[in-house]
Amino acid sequence: MIQLFHVSKIFGPTVALKDIDLRIRTGEFVFVTGPSGAGKTTLLRLIFGAEPPTEGQILINGINLSRISGTKLHLLRRKIGFVFQDFKLLSRRTVFQNVALALEVTGEKGSVVRKKTHQMLRAVALAPKEEAYPIELSGGEQQRVAIARAMINDPLILLADEPTGNLDPEITREIMVLFRSINLRGTTVVIATHNRELLRNTDQRIILLHKGKALE
């Protein structure tokens, strides 16, 4: 469960988010949309704990982010997967190493890391390319690597910021199918997008951000 109580975020003179009250239930699939600068990315970053809100409280599964110590925040982040428009893959690491990284940072055993990484790469249909470097992959493949990395720790929540922004419509459909299957396994999925096509054919909940305010 993600809960936001009267959350505002102000950057200097700019009000990015204003008095947001929001509940996203466990296992829900939610789109956050709005024009550029509406505060979509800021909202996801606040939920991820990358930024503190200027005002208000954020609770993730009952844990108040403003009360959590910096050293514990990384533990919470392991339960939140994050996928970006620009994939954020390590160019010097192979597909396998990029995905394995999320497990390695937890100090997991090498054999467990290898087994789970192979499983995850099979799940996103990238097993044949595990030794390839990101630069050798298409945009859709890179995004699947990023999703595999975000999912390998079995997160409770998957946040995706414009995950299809750099992809063509065919690949976008493939990626959305992947998100849907992740959600069906019980993971809460929150996707920030301004892709109208994506929203037109969905029956999922849509949160519209406009001038920092949230509208359902």
Stretch that binds other proteins, among 69-77, 124-132, 173-181, 191-199 (CB under 8 A): 69-77
Q: Which is nearer to other proteins, 15 or 76 (CB)?
A: 76
In the set 52, 90, 125, 131, which binds other proteins (CB under 8 A)? 90
Ramachandran angles phi, psi of 201, nearest 5°? -100, 20
Q: Which is nearer to other proteins, 73 or 177 (CB)?
A: 73
Query: Could you tell me which of 76, 52, 55, 80 has the C-alpha nearest to residue 66?
Result: 52
Number of residues that bind other proteins (CB under 8 A): 21
Site membership for other proteins, residue 69 (CB under 8 A): no
In the set 26, 35, 66, 75, which binds other proteins (CB under 8 A)? 75
CB 4 within 8 A of CB 22: yes
In the set 35, 52, 110, 169, which binds other proteins (CB under 8 A)? 110
In the set 29, 31, 82, 96, which binds other proteins (CB under 8 A)? 82
* CA pseudo-torsion sign 180, 169, 192, 120: positive
In the set 5, 78, 206, 208, which binds other proteins (CB under 8 A)? 78
> CA 154 → CA 101, 151, 189, distances in Å?
14, 5, 12
Smallest gap from residue 178 Cβ to other proteins (A) = 19
Which residues fall within 8 angstroms of residue 20, CB to CB, at 6 or more apart?
4, 6, 7, 8, 43, 56, 212, 213, 214
Query: Could you tell me which of 202, 93, 79 has the C-alpha nearest to residue 101?
Result: 93
Query: Could you tell me which of 121, 94, 128, 97 has the C-alpha nearest to residue 110?
Result: 97
Footprint (CB under 8 A) of other proteins, residues 143-182? 149, 153
Site membership for other proteins, residue 135 (CB under 8 A): no
Q: Which residues contact other proteins by CB under 8 A?
A: 70-71, 74-75, 77-78, 82, 88-90, 92, 101-102, 104-107, 109-110, 149, 153
